[in-house]
Structure formats: structure tokens, C-alpha cells
Amino acid sequence: MSVGLKYLYNEIKKHEVKLLAGENGLKNKVRWTQLVESVEVASFLQGGELLFTTGLAMTSKDDLFNLVKKTHEMLASGIIIYIGKYIDEVDEEIINYCNENDYPVFSVSWGVEMRDTMRYLSARIIESEKNYIELSNAIKDAIFLPDHKDLFMPVFSKVGYKPNWNYYVTIIEVNSKDIDNIDLNAEMIQVTNFIDVELNYVRRNFYIKLMKEFIELEFYLGMDKKDCTLETFHNGYEASKKILQINKILRNEKSNIRFSDIDVYRLFLDMDSKENLKKFYENNLGVLEAYDNMNNTDYLKVITSYYENNCKMNETASALFIHRNTLNYKVNKIEEILDINLDDISDKSKIYLCTIIKYLL
């Protein structure tokens, strides 16, 4: 778990800590604090640390710049420099470097007790981690044990979540070959930053923003359009999970659509048994699929593209890279095989439903 550097900085201003440069980096997250006095020690950093240095091991003016540069390269969140005994000042080269790289550098007078500041910061980080664990467990209880409100409502109240507020549930499932090499905590911190944006704007742009920000990740998104309360949080979760399921199935341009666009899919997913759906499909498009398998034809692909292009012949022909006359022949052949008339609303609707069902079986 980590804590926002901006939050910590506001907390330790009382310890006479001053921001010198890298203000844009205050969005960084801090996992822990650490004392670092040399480039060699800095090479062992894991990232996300808020560092302290006194200059004790420095022998030249360049040592401080090299240390700041190295800690930034090791993905530290920021560095606090003690001024007065071993370091006289933070020169302009460091200020410019930190501003250019959004790397926060702070100063504090030598007389300020480092141990008090570090102890205070550590306490804030531990408290934040405790709250995070409690909140995570409360969310799980709200989803999987909704009848046991005594397990989660007091925790929500403690962290300031009001029972009469409206909440929206979003599920993100990451599926990546490099999952073990990805810092999901750091990635999800960026994801949660979108919550600061107006909710309607988030709904329209959430997936696109995530795709741009995390292009190296393969993930699926389920986001319910309807709000819920803390007591009905489980309903929002189940609804978003169904959207996620659909988005995993639909791997084309129609994927990642919300409930308002997929009412038919939702209707089918709400059915307890899929046997009736399977029989309905087999008695209709299943016949066409079997014909393709026996005769090495592509009629199922043709009819699917036909519906994906709103039953428009020109667009379908273009999508399939075939002549319009060829498409006419194939559509007529499909009508013959299935004994249907695609100009009839009943037959057209029946086949449309089958094109949806085949993704859900």
C-alpha cells in the first residue's frame, strides 16, 4: 500500500520541510521512508521511497547531484535534503533537473530531528495500509456477504463513505503474459485518479484512457451504468461482472459497451439455464454452421457480418471484400438453407438473436 506524496507533504510542513522543485511529482505515491547517503546505497532502492539524505558521505559538489539523479532513476518518490552541516545549499543544477523530471526535492534545516519526521511519516503510511486492508475486506464483505451489514457498514462509515451516497462499481481484469513484472499497485493508482473526473465523462472515456495509459496490458473492463448504495453494492458488482463477461466474449469493435447498449446480452446472461438458448441456436444458425462444416462454405461468417453491418448489403459486401452480386447469391442461399425470409421481421429477429447467442454459448 502507498500514500500520496502530496498528502504527506502537507502533513510534514509542520516539521519545516519545504518543497524546492518538482512540484508536478507530488502525485507520486510513497511506500516507505529511507535514509540514503550514497549512489551505491541508492542502487538498492525498490521504488516508491521517500528518501532522506544529510550529505554525510559526500566528498564533492557533484555527489549530491549524482545522488539525486540516481534516486530518480531508481523511481524513488522524492528526496528530503538536510541543509546546514554537510550540505550548504541545493544548487541550481539540481533544481532544474528535478523540475524537468517532475522529481520532488525538499529541504529541511539541520536542527530538525530526522527521526521524528521519519517516525511521523512511517506512522501515516502504516495507518494508511491498515485502513486500506480494512476497506478492502469491507468491500469483499459487501459483495459476498451482503446480509451481514455489521461486517462492512461500520468500516465504510469510519472512512467517510455515506450510506445515502450513490456508488458505481467497475471491475478491471488484467490478462497479460508479463503480469508478474507489472506493478499493479502503481498502475491502479493511476486508474483511480480518473475518479476525480465527472462520472459521465469517465463512463464515456474510461476504457479509451486506460488503453492509452496502459498499452502494454491486456485487460477487460466491466462498468455498470446504474448506481447502487453501500447496502446494494453486491448488485452493482454482479451487473459489472456481466458486462465484463460480455466484453471478454466480444473481441471486436463492439466490445466494451455499457448496459444501455447490451440489453439483449444482459437478458440472456440473466437466464439461469443456457440449454434453451443452445437449442434455439442449434435449430437456427446451428443448421447453417453444420452446413458450412459439411460443404466448406462461409455462410455463417456472411450472415454474421450482415447483421454487424445493420443488414446493409453494400456495407456487408465491403466488409467481406466481395462483390455485391456475390453477396446477394450467398444471402439467398442462406435463406434457402434455413427456410427463412430476411425481409420478414420475425425471421430477421430470430437470426439476429442467434448471432448474439453464439457468443454466449
Domain membership of residue 153 (yes or no) is: no
Say whether both 112 and 221 belong to one domain. Answer: no
Of 41-55, 63-77, 189-203, the range with the lowest mean pLDDT is: 189-203
Of residues 159 and 95, the one with the higher pLDDT is: 95
**pLDDT > 60? residue 347:** yes
pLDDT tens-digit readout, 327-344: 999 999 999 999 999 999
Domain membership of residue 147 (yes or no) is: no
Domain membership of residue 239 (yes or no) is: yes
Angle, alpha carbons 174-175-180 (nearest 5°): 85
Say whether both 18 and 93 belong to one domain. Answer: yes
Q: Which residue, of 121, 143, 176, is where some domain finishes? A: 121
Domain membership of residue 143 (yes or no) is: no
pLDDT for 143 equals 93
Say whether both 280 and 242 belong to one domain. Answer: no
How far is residue 59's CA from residue 213's CA, in Å, rounded to a whole number? Answer: 42
pLDDT tens-digit readout, 277-295: 888 889 899 999 999 999 9
Q: Which residue, of 89, 121, 153, is where some domain finishes? A: 121
pLDDT for 58 equals 87
**pLDDT > 50? residue 257:** no
**pLDDT > 90? residue 104:** yes
pLDDT for 182 equals 53
How many structural domains compose the chain?
Answer: 3
pLDDT for 183 equals 53
pLDDT tens-digit readout, 126-175: 988 888 899 999 999 999 999 999 999 999 998 889 988 888 888 888 77
Say whether both 87 and 114 belong to one domain. Answer: yes
Give me the percent of the chain exceeding a pLDDT of 90: 46
Domain membership of residue 262 (yes or no) is: no
Asked if 202 and 225 touch (Cβ cutoff 8 Å), the reply is: no
CATH of the domain at 78: 3.40.1390.20
Tell me, letter by letter, the H, E, C secondary structure of the chain. CCEEHHHHHHHHHHHCCEEEECHHHHHCEECEEEECCCHHHHCCCCCCEEEEECCCCCCCHHHHHHHHHHHHHCCCCEEEEEECCCCCCCCHHHHHHHHHCCCCEEEEECCCCHHHHHHHHHHHHHHHHHHHHHHHHHHHHHHHCCCCHHHHHHHHHHCCCCCCCCECCEEEEECCCCHHHCCHHHHHHHHHHHHHCCHHHHHHHHHHHHHHHCCCCCEEEEECCCCECHHHHHHHHHHHHHHHHHHHHCCCCCCCCCHHHCHHHHHHHCCCCCHHHHHHHHCCHHHHHHHHHHHCCCHHHHHHHHHHCCCCHHHHHHHHCCCHHHHHHHHHHHHHHHCCCCCCHHHHHHHHHHHHHHHHC
Q: Which residues pair with 29 in a beta bridge?
A: 4
Give me the percent of the chain exceeding a pLDDT of 70: 80
Of 22-26, 319-323, 349-353, the range with the lowest mean pLDDT is: 349-353
How far is residue 68's CA from residue 42's CA, in Å, rounded to a whole number? Answer: 9
Q: What is the mean pLDDT of the chain?
A: 83
**pLDDT > 70? residue 180:** no
Say whether both 241 and 297 belong to one domain. Answer: no
How far is residue 243's CA from residue 223's CA, in Å, rounded to a whole number? Answer: 7
pLDDT for 279 equals 86
Domain membership of residue 150 (yes or no) is: no
Local confidence band at 177 (pLDDT 50, 70, 90 cut-offs): low
pLDDT tens-digit readout, 9-61: 998 888 889 999 999 999 999 999 999 999 999 999 999 999 999 999 888 88
Say whether both 239 and 193 belong to one domain. Answer: yes
pTM: 0.58
Of residues 5 and 227, the one with the higher pLDDT is: 5
Q: Which residue, of 67, 88, 121, is where some domain finishes? A: 121
Say whether both 250 and 205 belong to one domain. Answer: yes
Say whether both 225 and 291 belong to one domain. Answer: no
Say whether both 169 and 242 belong to one domain. Answer: yes
Say whether both 34 and 113 belong to one domain. Answer: yes
pLDDT for 358 equals 81
**pLDDT > 50? residue 196:** no
- What's the chain's length in residues? 361
How far is residue 156's CA from residue 162's CA, in Å, rounded to a whole number? Answer: 7
Say whether both 58 and 87 belong to one domain. Answer: yes
pLDDT for 255 equals 43
Domain membership of residue 133 (yes or no) is: no
Domain membership of residue 176 (yes or no) is: yes
Q: Name the residue range of residue 95's domain.
A: 3-121
pLDDT for 215 equals 55
User: Hey, how many other C-beta atoms are within 10 angstroms of the C-beta on 339?
Assistant: 8
pLDDT for 217 equals 62
Say whether both 67 and 107 belong to one domain. Answer: yes
pLDDT for 275 equals 80
Asked if 239 and 145 touch (Cβ cutoff 8 Å), the reply is: no
